Amino acid sequence: MGTLFLIPNTLGETALSGVIPSEVMRRIASLRVFASENPKNTRRYLKQIDGTLPLDEFTFLEVNEHSTPRDIEACLPYLASGDVGVISEAGCPGIADPGAELVALAHRHGYRVVPLVGPSSILLALIASGFNGQAFSFNGYLPVKSNERTRALKNYERQSALENRTQLFIETPYRNLKLLEEMLRTLHPDTLLSIACDLTTPGESVRTLPVREWKRQPLPDLHKRPAIFLFYVPQPNHRPK
Amino acid sequence: MGTLFLIPNTLGETALSGVIPSEVMRRIASLRVFASENPKNTRRYLKQIDGTLPLDEFTFLEVNEHSTPRDIEACLPYLASGDVGVISEAGCPGIADPGAELVALAHRHGYRVVPLVGPSSILLALIASGFNGQAFSFNGYLPVKSNERTRALKNYERQSALENRTQLFIETPYRNLKLLEEMLRTLHPDTLLSIACDLTTPGESVRTLPVREWKRQPLPDLHKRPAIFLFYVPQPNHRPK
């Protein structure tokens, strides 16, 4: 019986040696069957890892948002006869892609699942924010409609204050600036807001400031840059002197 | 002005090449000032990374749960004159250690903060569970008192169902089995429970089963093994055929 390996990808243009452990690269290069959203991108990634891999002999299974449960089950015979790697388009598989369904299926059929270490923009943004890491929530996208979004932001802010919890969000990159403007309009001036942008790539920046300070300066250029938004309501007894 | 680098550590006895990217190791070896909870362990880790480092010339700053804001501020002059690395006892700094306070202080003083890639048991457990990665909450420890703990579990379960959210917890390793027993007693039989144990080390195991299945088999040996507990209420329209 094979093992399902969860394979990390880079978060953008960057040297592999900075984000993928060497033993993980060797493991990836030892596999012959890969499931991913875009086999063409997966081939390019494998070439980067080892230019001598005989990619024409490899099997590439497509698993995307349109895959039916039956499509995903089509991966099972490959697991029955050997190891399979599941790769995300960026970062760790199973966070914002259909990889999680394949993992769930593997568990239901008793296959071993092994996660390999690599970059996660959510985790890197969390630790770089300086916010509480002992209670945090990744909430994905906020509602699109303005009034629902405002209400959701206020609810998440209240929860942060009550539970001493860090709140994390993503946005479609071309809407980043709009989200930032709404956060600055809606959140309390004392709430701390962190923006982590282009993580692990040359343009990386992580900035944490109270909302009131963000409002005083020119807004950062976030347009079409992959970003994580985090906020945290500082607790009275943890507030700096 | 220096940069504060967030340095990953291993999650237990394991080869560095499987969990720390080579460029991250080179970056660690280039630093001369380190903040950590236990300088003795930090020295041992640095020796593992590069046995030729002149550790006697390095500066080790102790930052632990007893550190006052003033103690943490004592790190600032080092940042003013050069780079500083903050290291956790295990995994990524700032999740379950006082590193986050130093990061917050660095942001308040305008220093650059750079998170380096390494293993995070929370993130690895999440992707290996097969649960929803688009909405998840890390909740740390559950309340200790039995009735409060039962109530908290039920609330987190209700939230998982309502928000399609994965819930993650940790426990003091010698209490793992007790927590598992309470989860099996309290959670709905259809709720999926995943236990990730000894991640990235030779004893690694990740197992996801409905609560009803966990109850039918001998409980796993979790005693004193570092573990992450995750549960997820499967959504009606995502349920497998």
Instruction: Mark which residues 116-145 of B lie under 8 Å from A by CB.
Output: 117-120, 122-140
Residue B170 CA, chain-centre distance (Å), reads: 9
Inform me whether the pLDDT recorded for A12 exceeds 70.
yes
φ, ψ at A222 (rounded to 5°): -105, 0
SS3 letters across A35-80: EECCHHHHHHHHHHHCCCCCHHHCEEEECCCCCCHHHHHCCHHHHH
**Mean pLDDT calculated for residue range A171-177:** 94
How far apart (Å, rounded) are the C-alpha atoms in residues A130 and A102?
34
Token digits for B156? Answer: 């987190």
How far apart (Å, rounded) are the C-alpha atoms in residues A139 and B136?
7
Any A CB within 8 A of B96 CB: yes
At B101-158, the pLDDT tens digits run 999 999 999 999 999 999 999 999 999 999 999 999 999 999 999 999 999 999 999 9
- Confidence at residue B121, expressed as pLDDT on a 0 to 100 scale: 97
Q: Note the ipTM here.
A: 0.96
Record: contact B138-A139, CB cut-off 8 A: no
Residues of B whose CB is below 8 A from A6: 127-128
Record: contact A94-B126, CB cut-off 8 A: yes
Any B CB within 8 A of A12 CB: no
pLDDT > 90: what percent of chain B? 91
At B27-82, the pLDDT tens digits run 999 999 999 999 999 999 999 999 999 999 999 999 998 999 999 999 999 999 99
Residues of B whose CB is below 8 A from A133: 94-96, 100
Record: contact B23-A6, CB cut-off 8 A: no
Inform me whether the pLDDT recorded for B94 exceeds 90.
no
**Mean pLDDT calculated for residue range A76-100:** 92
- Confidence at residue A241, expressed as pLDDT on a 0 to 100 scale: 36
Record: contact B21-A21, CB cut-off 8 A: yes
Candidate from B18, B115, B207 with C-beta closest to A127: B115
- Confidence at residue B240, expressed as pLDDT on a 0 to 100 scale: 44
Confidence class for position A233, pLDDT limits 50, 70, 90:
very high
Confidence class for position A162, pLDDT limits 50, 70, 90:
very high
How far apart (Å, rounded) are the C-alpha atoms in residues B48 and B46?
5
Residue A231, classed as helix, strand or coil, is strand
Record: contact A117-B200, CB cut-off 8 A: yes
Nearest CA in chain B to A202: B114
How far apart (Å, rounded) are the C-alpha atoms in residues A230 and B206?
29
The whole-chain average pLDDT of chain B stands at 95
- Confidence at residue A94, expressed as pLDDT on a 0 to 100 scale: 87
At A56-69, the pLDDT tens digits run 999 999 999 899 99
Nearest to A19 by CA among A197, A201, A204, A170: A201
Q: Are the C-beta atoms of residues A140 and A170 closer than 8 Å to each other? A: yes
Inform me whether the pLDDT recorded for B192 exceeds 70.
yes
For residue A236, the distance in angstroms to the closest alpha carbon of chain B comes to: 14
Question: Could you tell me how many CB contacts below 8 A there are between chain A and chain B?
Answer: 181
Tokens 């979790």 belong to residue: B222
Inform me whether the pLDDT recorded for A96 exceeds 80.
no
- Confidence at residue A224, expressed as pLDDT on a 0 to 100 scale: 87
First-to-final CA distance of chain B: 58
Nearest CA in chain A to B106: A130
